Structures are given as structure tokens and as C-alpha cells.
């Protein structure tokens, strides 16, 4: 926490334990999902799309749900995007999203989070009715130490959570996502303390009526609160049916709770009930501290590091894997920048009783 916040009388809150991210051993062998770009480069030139590369990437993605292309020789986002779109063929805008993402280049978004905040494992856009099937990541800048993304094998995590009383409670009650989006107009000329995302940026409009309509189009209950606050609520299963495996998979995590802000500058000081995100069981009842910790741990137990180097391209199935990262601390003159591609949209089906 910054000295300015401490001096203002804010004190750190008791938080959940920091995620471990993995056990130290990858939950899946990297050779199952890693493709060496050297095999497909011509005379040492930077990697370009080819029929052979596309077939290898597509098969790996179909079989595993995760592809990591290394040794590409690329350093430009659009060149990396061309490789990613051999599999991620249809992209969507980041409308209705929680994170304050900005566009780096055409169809390429930034991660949308401060480097010093850890990002809990999560499934992208699980908190709205129109989610996304997959994500692409493009490694543009990377510090000399750290900066890795982690993914968690959601098939193993699903089996593990369902074997617990907490998992059965999630199955029976579902969850409710509570989001409070601030009004950008309330912060003109003043520090954005306590701000995570403005409704104008999330809903991609400056018009309040259009914002409400956009929220409801995404399956959210939405209403206006004080000071222009857009309050949305979404009650849904904690799991989602995945057609390819014909199975219900875990599709929620502590990333959509107030715990997301435990290390988030200018927000972490807020009491839990005043933070921009909160998650409860679907009937409105609160999760206990131990239940929340169990929710964190089940993803950590099946974590896998993606050890980025500039030029790397990764594709992640949003059903079969959750993703996140620890805090990143860069040295002077260094930076970390990943371009993000949002895959095709799908309307959430939730679960089927005979697919557990």
C-alpha cells in the first residue's frame, strides 16, 4: 500500500493467503502443448503462417486446450497476432468486461491490470451471460526476471472441487457476481482512488441508457446507484457445460470476489463490501474464509507456468484452463506487455444434470 494511503488513515485489511500458482511441478507436461517455432521457420526468418504450422497448432489446441508457440523470432504485435489467428479465427470486442482494458493495436488489448497486483486464476468473462471460448496472448515485452503467466488445468480442478462439501455447495447454490462500476464524470480533476473500472469503459458508451441496455444484453441485472454508480448482478451456475468433453466444468473463481483487490493500488484499502467486485453464493449467502481459501487452492494445485519470451504466442481454451499471474516487479528500464486477443463469444448454457 502506498504511503499516501497510509497517511490518509487507511490500514491494510486481513486478506486471503497469496496464491501459490502451482506446486512446483507442472500439472501437465509442457511438451504436450509447446510448439517450437524453429521447426516451421524458413532459413531462420521470423515465423510466418503455414499449412503445417496451422495444422499442428489446431491439433494441439483441440487435444489439450493450450498452445504455446516459442522461438518465433517475432517482435511486433500484429505479426504475433497473425500466428495466433491461425487458431483464434473469430475475435470479439471486450464489451461488458470488468477489467479496464485499453486497445494496444487493432483487435489487440492490454492485460488491463497494474503489474504490482496479483491476478487470481480466472475464466475470462465468466461473470456475464456472453462469455468467450478462448484467449490469445502475445508476448511483446518481458522483464529479465519473472513475469510469467500461469494456467490451471480445469479438468483436474473440477474433479477435485466436486469431491468436497464446498464443491457440492457450489453445484447446488450457484453464485452471484456483484459489480459496481464507477461514473467517469465523478472523477474529473480528482484522483481516482477506489476506482477499478468506469461504466463508460466497460460498456463502451457515454450514454447511460445505452449502458443499461448493454448490461442487460449481457444477461445482467442492472440499476443505477448513488454518484452515477452502475450496479450489476448476475446469478449463474458456478460451472459451465463444455460440449467438446460433454461435461460440466468449473467456471468461476475468487478473481471475481473482493479478494481480486487485495494487492490492487488505490482499491485495496476499501472495506470488502465497498470494493468494486464481490461474489456470494447464488442464494445471497456469504462464503466463509475457509471456503474462499479452498476456492483459491484448488486452482493452485493444478497450475502450469507459461515461461514467456518476447515473440511467444499462447492460446488458451477458456473452458479447460483458468489463467492468472503473480505480481510483477520490473527493473528500471524494463517492462512487461502482453497483447490479449478475445476469442469468439458464446452464450452461457450453465449445466446439465446428467453431465457431471
Which CATH number goes with the domain that contains 302?
Answer: 3.60.130.10
Q: Give the helix/strand (H/E) hosting 176.
A: strand 175-181
How many structural domains are present in the chain?
A: 1
The pLDDT score that the predictor gives to residue 351 is 98
Is 61 a domain residue? yes
Residue 353 lies in a domain: no
Q: Is position 4 within any domain?
A: no
Kind of pairing between the strands at 313-317 and 134-141:
antiparallel
What is the model's pLDDT at position 259?
87
Q: Is residue 10 part of a domain?
A: no
| Nearest CA-CA partner of 132 in 351, 352, 350, 348 | 348
85 inside domain: yes
pLDDT of residue 90: 81
Distances (CA, A) of 352 to 158, 177, 228, 234, 237: 15, 21, 38, 19, 10
What is the Cα 3 distance to its own chain's centre? 29
Cα torsion 24, 29, 35, 39 to 10°: value is 110
**Model pLDDT, residue 293:** 93
Which residues of the chain fall short of a pLDDT of 70? 1-16, 92-112
Q: Cβ neighbours of residue 1 under 8 Å, at least 6 residues apart? A: 10, 12, 265, 268, 269
Reading the block at residue 189, the C-alpha cell is 480533476
Which residues does 14 contact at the CB level (< 8 Å), separation at least 6? none
CA 77 to chain centre: 20
The whole-number pLDDT of residue 260 equals: 87
Q: What is the pLDDT of residue 326?
A: 93
- Residue 310's Cβ-count burial label (10 Å; 0-12, 13-18, 19+) is middle
In a domain, 193, yes or no: yes
Domain membership of residue 48 (yes or no) is yes
Q: What is the pTM of this model?
A: 0.87
Radius of gyration of the chain (CA): 20
The boundaries of the domain holding residue 177 are 20-347
CB distance 13 to 271 below 8 Å? yes
Please report whether residue 338 resides in a domain.
Answer: yes
pLDDT of residue 296: 95
Beta 247-250 vs 239-242: how paired, if at all? antiparallel
Q: What is the pLDDT of residue 243?
A: 97
Cβ pair 210, 218 in contact under 8 A:
no
- What's the helix, strand, coil split of the chain in %, to 5? 25, 25, 50
Amino acid at each position: 500500500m502506498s504511503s499516501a494511503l497510509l497517511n490518509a488513515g487507511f490500514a491494510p485489511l486481513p486478506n486471503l493467503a497469496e496464491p501459490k500458482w502451482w506446486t512446483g511441478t507442472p500439472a501437465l507436461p509442457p511438451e504436450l502443448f509447446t510448439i517450437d517455432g524453429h521447426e516451421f521457420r524458413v532459413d531462420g526468418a521470423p515465423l510466418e503462417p503455414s499449412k503445417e504450422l496451422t495444422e499442428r497448432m489446431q491439433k494441439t489446441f483441440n487435444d489439450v486446450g493450450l498452445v504455446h508457440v516459442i522461438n518465433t523470432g517475432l517482435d511486433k504485435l500484429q505479426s504475433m497476432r497473425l500466428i495466433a489467428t491461425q487458431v483464434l479465427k473469430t475475435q470479439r470486442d471486450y464489451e461488458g468486461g470488468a477489467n479496464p482494458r485499453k486497445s494496444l493495436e487493432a483487435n489487440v488489448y492490454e492485460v488491463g491490470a497494474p503489474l504490482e497486483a496479483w491476478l487470481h486464476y480466472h475464466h475470462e468473462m465468466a461473470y456475464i451471460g456472453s462469455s468467450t471460448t478462448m484467449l490469445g496472448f502475445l508476448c511483446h515485452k518481458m522483464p529479465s526476471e519473472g513475469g510469467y503467466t500461469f494456467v490451471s488445468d480445469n479438468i483436474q480442478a473440477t474433479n477435485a472441487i466436486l469431491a468436497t462439501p464446498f464443491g457440492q455447495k457450489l453445484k447446488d447454490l450457484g453464485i452471484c457476481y456483484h459489480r459496481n462500476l464507477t461514473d467517469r464524470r465523478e472523477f474529473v480533476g480528482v484522483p481516482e482512488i477506489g476506482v477499478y473500472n468506469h461504466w463508460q469503459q466497460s460498456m463502451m458508451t457515454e450514454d447511460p441508457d445505452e449502458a443499461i441496455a448493454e448490461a442487460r444484453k449481457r444477461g445482467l441485472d442492472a440499476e443505477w446507484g448513488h454518484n452515477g454508480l452502475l450496479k450489476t448482478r448476475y446469478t449463474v451456475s458456478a460451472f459451465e457445460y463444455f460440449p467438446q468433453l460433454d461435461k460440466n466444468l468449473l467456471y468461476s473463481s475468487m478473481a471475481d470476489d473482493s479478494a481480486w483487490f487485495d494487492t490492487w493500488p488505490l482499491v485495496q484499502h476499501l472495506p470488502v463490501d465497498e470494493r468494486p467486485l464481490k461474489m456470494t453464493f447464488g442464494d445471497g449467502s456469504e462464503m466463509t474464509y475457509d471456503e474462499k481459501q479452498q476456492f483459491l487452492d484448488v486452482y493452485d494445485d493444478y497450475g502450469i507456468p507459461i515461461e514467456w519470451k518476447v515473440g511467444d504466442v499462447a492460446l488458451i481454451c477458456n473452458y479447460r484452463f483458468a489463467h492468472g499471474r503473480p505480481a510483477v516487479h520490473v527493473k528500471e528500464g524494463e517492462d512487461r506487455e502482453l497483447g490479449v486477443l478475445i476469442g469468439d463469444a458464446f452464450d452461457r448454457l450453465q449445466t446439465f444434470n446428467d453431465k457431471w
